[in-house]
Copies of this chain bind each other. A is one copy, B any other.
Amino acid sequence: MHHLYPRLVVSVPEWVSDLIDASPGALRIPEDRMRLAISLARENAARGGGPFGAVVFEDGSGRVVAPGVNLVVPLGCSLAHAETVAIAIAQQAIGSYDLGAPGLPTMQLVTSAEPCAMCLGAIPWSGVKSILCGATGDDAEGVGFDEGAKPDGWPEALAARGIQVTRGICREEAAAVLVDYARGGGLIYNGGRGTAEAPSTTGRIGRDHRP
């Protein structure tokens, strides 16, 4: 008898595609790129998701390669932060696990808030050559999100790997999304803290589970 494990399907909601389609085809200015990430964050929060958005751009042309929003709750996946979703979709779009592979345009990750420890660790493996950050880690922690343990001097450590970090782009607009989310009573869904509701499938845990 063959055992099958469930699979995870990561895709961006249709409204995300619509929002990108409604934006200009090329965004050459950092602030314009950031405002697109912030608009994803704000719209995701308005739809009940986490208040985070990210976009992978072709750095030279300013074209969008892939967007991402926080999908932790809808996907049931603690890994599905805006940055990791954008990276995953971008890699599927180009057909490589390395956005820095030979022959590709240089890629940039733009994120509405500084990466948590997981996303920070994911950035060097992704192949992007630069990141733009909006809200700071302090802004995120200020409303209750856990950033995790990031090494001191992480921007300099990324720079030493050839990944340039620019922080605080449109910080006020980006931080406002977090503050509004918290004021609106949004779920601060830090994993492993018992913030999740009890799953409805408890009886199906383990190797006896069939998808």
Which residue of B121, B154, B192 contacts A100 across the interface (Cβ within 8 Å)? B192
**A78→B58 contact, CB < 8 A:** no
- A residues 1-40 in Cβ contact with B at 8 Å: 1-12, 14, 16-18, 20-21, 25
Which residue of B65, B195, B201 contacts A98 across the interface (Cβ within 8 Å)? B195
**A9→B8 contact, CB < 8 A:** yes
Q: How many copies does the complex hold?
A: 2
| A179 in contact (CB, < 8 A) | no
> What is the interface size of chain A, counting residues whose CB is below 8 A from a CB of the partner?
97
- Give the chain B neighbours of A72 by CB distance below 8 A: 97
| A53 in contact (CB, < 8 A) | no
A101 to chain B, nearest CB (A): 4
Which residue of B3, B89, B94, B207 contacts A7 across the interface (Cβ within 8 Å)? B89
| A126 in contact (CB, < 8 A) | yes
Which residue of B7, B97, B197, B205 contacts A73 across the interface (Cβ within 8 Å)? B97
Contacts A10-B10, A192-B127, A199-B103 hold; do A91 and B76 have CB atoms under 8 A apart? Answer: yes
- Give the chain B neighbours of A80 by CB distance below 8 A: 97
**A104→B199 contact, CB < 8 A:** yes
Binary CB contact string for chain A from 55 to 74 against chain B (1 if under 8 A, 0 otherwise): 00010010111110000110
**B78→A95 contact, CB < 8 A:** no
- Give the chain B neighbours of A176 by CB distance below 8 A: none
| A178 in contact (CB, < 8 A) | no
Measured CA separation A114–B128 after assembly (Å) = 24
Measured CA separation A78–B93 after assembly (Å) = 13
- A residues 154-211 in Cβ contact with B at 8 Å: 154, 157, 161-163, 189-202, 204-207, 209, 211
| A116 in contact (CB, < 8 A) | yes
Q: Which residues of A contact B (CB under 8 A)?
A: 1-12, 14, 16-18, 20-21, 25, 58, 61, 63-67, 72-73, 75-80, 84, 87-89, 91-105, 116-122, 124-129, 146, 148-152, 154, 157, 161-163, 189-202, 204-207, 209, 211
